[in-house]
C-alpha cells in the first residue's frame, strides 16, 4: 500500500426533502466566516427551473435572508466563457459563496468560479497546470444528477472553447463545504442521463481499481462491492424502477463514494480512459459518460492485447471479470475478455454507445485526438500509454 493522506471535509446531507435545508446550511457557513449573505446561484436554467426546484430554492434562501445573483446557462462539458462571466459577477458583486444546483457540469463550473473569484490571474492557468488555487469561495451544492461525484471530490473539469480543450483542475479547495443529495430529485432524469451517470461513476471506480499496487485488499473489496451494488440497482432502475427510491438512493450515494477519494486510498489509479474520453468530449461534445462507455472497453481490450504475458495485469483483469461480472476464471485472458463483453452488454442495455459509429465521432480525426491526448505527456499508470497506444485504442473504439 502506498503512503497516503485523506481528508474530505464535505458535509453530505442525504435523503428525502433535504434540499429544504439549503438556507440554514449556507447561513451556518457564512455566519462562521462572518460574511455577508450574498451568494451566486448557479444552474443550467433548464430542468431544475422546469421542475420548480429553483423556485423552491429561492424560497428557502429568502426565508433565511440570503441574497443572490443568478447565473444560468451551464452546458454539459461546461465552458470557460461562462466561468469567466461567473468570476466577474462574483468579484463585482462581492459574493461570498457559490451554490450549484445541478449535476457535475454545474458543480464543476461553480468550482472554477469559486477559485477564480479569489484569484487575480487567468483562471485557465489552473487547468494548464501553470498555477494551483491558493483559496476559493465556499461552495455548496444541491445535486440533481448522480454521475461525476463532483459533489464531494477535488476534481473540476472545464472546456476552453478556444482550443477546444477539456482540462481538469484538482485541488482540496474544490471540495464543497456541503452537498445536499435527495434521490427523489433524480426520478425525472431522462434515461440517457441516468445511464451516462451510472457509466461515469463506474468508470471512476474502475480507474481506481486498475492499479499495479499489490496488497490493497480493503480498497479492492470496496471497489468491487460498490460496482456490484451499482450494477444491481441500475438494472432495477432500467427495468421500470425510475421512481424506486431505494434504487435511486443507492445509485446517488454510490456516485459520491466513487469519486470522493476514499476508494483509492493507498493505491495509484490509471486515469488513461478519462484522458482519452476528454478528447471525444472536446471535439465532438460527447457526454462524458457516453464517451467512457466507448473508451473503457476499448482501453481494456488494448491492455489485454499488449499485456498478455504480464501475469499481474492479466490477473487483475480476470479478477475484475470474476468479482464484478461473475465470470468463472479458467484462463485469465479468456476471463478478462468475457468480463469486457459483459460490461459492454451492460452499457448497451442502458442504451449507451459503445463504438464511435453509435455517435457523431469522426474516425478521420483519430490521429489528431491521439496527438492531443498526450499534451502533458504519457497517460495512464496501469500501463503508460503514448500517442501510438492512444491511436490504437481509438481505432478499437472505431471498429
Nearest residue to 335 (alpha-carbon basis) of 348, 323, 317: 317
10 in contact with a second copy (CB under 8 A): yes
Residue 24's φ and ψ, nearest 5 degrees, are -70, -35
Q: Is 45 exposed, middle or buried (0-12, 13-18, 19+ CB in 10 A)?
A: middle
Interacting residues with a second copy between 13 and 72 (CB under 8 A): 13-16, 18
Distance CA 322, CA 335 (A): 8
9 in contact with a second copy (CB under 8 A): yes
We find the least distance from the C-beta atom of residue 129 to a second copy, in angstroms, to be 24
| All three cell numbers of 248 | 435511486
Interacting residues with a second copy between 261 and 290 (CB under 8 A): 262, 265-266
Which of residues 221 and 331 has its CB atom nearest to a second copy in the complex?
A: 221
> Starting from the edge strand earliest in sequence, which strands make up the sheet with 38-43, in order?
67-71, 38-43, 97-102, 139-143, 178-181
> Hey, how many other C-beta atoms are within 10 angstroms of the C-beta on 16?
11
Distance CA 174, CA 176 (A): 6
We find the least distance from the C-beta atom of residue 159 to a second copy, in angstroms, to be 31
> Which position among 247, 307, 318, 340 is part of the footprint of a second copy (CB under 8 A)?
247
120 in contact with a second copy (CB under 8 A): no
Interacting residues with a second copy between 204 and 243 (CB under 8 A): 214-218, 220-222, 224-226, 228-230, 232-233
Choose one: 246-254, 286-294, 352-360, 383-391; the region binding a second copy (CB under 8 A).
246-254
> Which position among 158, 202, 249, 343 is part of the footprint of a second copy (CB under 8 A)?
249
Which of residues 14 and 284 has its CB atom nearest to a second copy in the complex?
A: 14
CA dihedral 22, 26, 27, 30 (to 10 degrees): 180
Do 256 and 12 touch, CB atoms closer than 8 A? yes
Distance CA 43, CA 99 (A): 9
Which of residues 90 and 256 has its CB atom nearest to a second copy in the complex?
A: 256
> Which position among 124, 210, 238, 253 is part of the footprint of a second copy (CB under 8 A)?
253
Which of residues 99 and 247 has its CB atom nearest to a second copy in the complex?
A: 247
# of chain residues touching a second copy (CB under 8 A)? 44
Residue 38's φ and ψ, nearest 5 degrees, are -125, 125
Which of residues 123 and 222 has its CB atom nearest to a second copy in the complex?
A: 222
Q: Catalog residues that contact a second copy under the rule CB under 8 A.
A: 1-16, 18, 214-218, 220-222, 224-226, 228-230, 232-233, 245-247, 249-250, 253-254, 257, 262, 265-266
Amino acid at each position: 500500500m502506498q503512503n497516503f493522506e485523506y481528508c474530505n471535509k464535505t458535509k453530505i446531507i442525504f435523503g428525502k426533502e433535504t434540499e429544504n435545508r439549503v438556507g440554514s446550511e449556507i447561513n451556518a457557513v457564512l455566519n462562521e466566516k462572518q460574511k455577508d449573505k450574498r451568494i451566486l446561484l448557479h444552474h443550467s436554467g433548464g430542468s431544475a427551473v422546469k421542475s420548480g426546484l429553483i423556485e423552491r430554492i429561492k424560497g428557502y434562501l429568502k426565508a433565511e435572508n440570503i441574497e443572490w445573483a443568478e447565473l444560468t446557462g451551464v452546458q454539459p462539458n461546461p465552458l470557460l466563457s461562462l466561468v469567466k462571466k461567473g468570476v466577474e459577477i462574483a468579484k463585482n458583486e462581492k459574493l461570498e459563496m457559490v451554490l450549484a444546483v445541478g449535476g457535475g457540469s454545474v458543480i464543476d463550473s461553480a468550482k472554477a468560479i469559486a477559485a477564480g473569484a479569489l484569484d487575480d490571474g487567468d483562471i485557465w492557468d489552473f487547468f494548464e497546470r501553470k498555477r494551483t488555487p491558493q483559496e476559493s469561495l465556499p461552495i455548496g451544492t444541491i445535486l440533481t444528477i448522480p454521475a461525476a461525484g463532483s459533489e464531494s471530490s477535488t476534481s473540476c473539469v472545464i472546456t476552453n472553447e478556444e482550443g477546444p480543450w477539456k482540462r481538469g483542475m484538482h485541488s482540496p479547495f474544490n471540495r464543497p463545504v456541503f452537498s445536499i443529495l435527495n434521490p427523489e430529485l433524480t426520478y425525472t432524469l431522462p434515461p440517457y442521463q441516468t445511464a451516462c451517470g451510472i457509466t461515469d461513476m463506474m468508470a471512476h471506480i474502475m480507474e481506481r481499481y486498475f492499479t499495479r499496487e499489490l496488497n490493497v485488499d480493503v480498497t479492492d473489496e470496496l471497489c468491487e462491492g460498490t460496482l456490484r451494488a451499482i450494477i444491481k440497482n441500475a438494472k432495477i432502475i432500467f427495468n421500470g424502477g425510475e421512481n424506486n427510491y431505494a434504487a435511486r438512493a443507492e445509485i446517488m450515494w454510490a456516485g459520491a463514494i466513487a469519486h470522493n477519494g476514499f476508494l483509492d486510498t493507498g493505491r495509484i489509479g490509471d486515469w488513461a480512459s478519462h484522458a482519452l474520453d476528454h478528447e471525444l468530449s472536446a471535439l465532438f461534445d460527447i457526454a462524458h459518460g457516453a464517451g467512457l462507455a466507448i473508451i473503457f472497453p476499448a482501453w481494456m481490450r488494448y491492455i489485454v492485447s499488449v499485456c498478455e504475458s504480464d501475469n499481474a495485469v492479466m490477473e487483475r483483469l480476470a479478477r475484475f471479470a470474476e468479482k464484478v461480472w461473475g465470470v468463472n476464471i479458467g484462463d485469465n485472458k479468456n476471463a478478462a475478455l468475457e468480463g469486457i463483453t459483459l460490461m459492454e452488454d451492460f452499457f448497451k442495455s442502458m442504451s449507451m454507445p459503445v463504438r464511435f459509429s453509435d455517435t457523431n465521432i469522426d474516425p478521420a480525426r483519430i490521429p489528431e485526438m491521439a496527438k492531443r491526448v498526450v499534451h502533458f505527456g504519457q497517460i495512464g499508470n496501469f500501463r503508460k500509454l503514448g500517442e501510438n497506444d492512444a491511436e490504437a485504442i481509438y481505432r478499437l473504439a472505431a471498429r
